[in-house]
Chain A
Amino acid sequence: MNPHRQVIFILVVMPLILGATAIASVDDAQSFALQAAEPYVREGFQVREDYWGGDLAAGEKKAVRQQLFKGNEYWFWLGTEVRRAKVSVHIYDKEGKLIEQPDSWQKGSYAAAHVVPTSTDSYFIIVAIEESPEERTHWALVYGFR
């Protein structure tokens, strides 16, 4: 890069990049969660418009309690816009027993948990930021059913 372009890069492009990072939000995390959901929509899952999110430090976890209906099949998708972060999502029943299907998955800034409830009741969706280069990491959870 010639010196003139370097100056333009430092004065114009870098602030834009840094600014974009600074204004990253839960909405950005939601778009990642929805990306993870996209292939499942083609399989007939109705993805709900609402989402749940916030920010967590690495190693922190939170629970979303949710009413699920026997007969339906659910996927929960978790995403973050922090590309080097690792997130996870798991589903437990009221007694704290892991009840997700073995095809649930976790990879970097995306994770998904699959559940076919054996009873109609409320369940706990546990979201976690396993690792992250950021002090606080946005996350968003969306779900779908069929």
Chain B
Amino acid sequence: MSESVVDFDVIAKILQKHKNDPSKIIPILQDVQKEFRYLPKDALLYIATTLNIPPSKVYGVATFFSHFTLEPKGKNIIKICDGTACHVKKSGDIIKALKKRFLLKDKKVTSDDGFITVETVSCLGACGLAPVIVLNDEVHGDMTLDKVMKLMDDLEA
């Protein structure tokens, strides 16, 4: 995949907001990811250089936390909660069905055409509505396979 052009001015502003403080690396990466929807490699290098810390450290933090992603995400993002409550209400079947539908496997979470990213999250804290999915930031509760597939049909239409 070709590296997208990164606007360093944007990152510089984020770094200034956090006073170029290396202990604020997590909030910095969060802000950068909010901006680009993922963490471009060039951005990580730029941050390391500016803060005068080894790139390995920035990379280490970026890869430790599951919230950060080094790959661009799809146009649509669907998060399926697989917390305990959702799990016992069969969220696993929803995950399997979605992966099958969009031809995804194990670590591959974004479809080839960039249409969708299918993520599982450990708990969204909306256990009362289990099983829960979040489609593009909108929470849908009490899901069934039927309802999910209908949502996907609408999304693709």
> Are A and B a genuine interacting pair, yes or no?
no
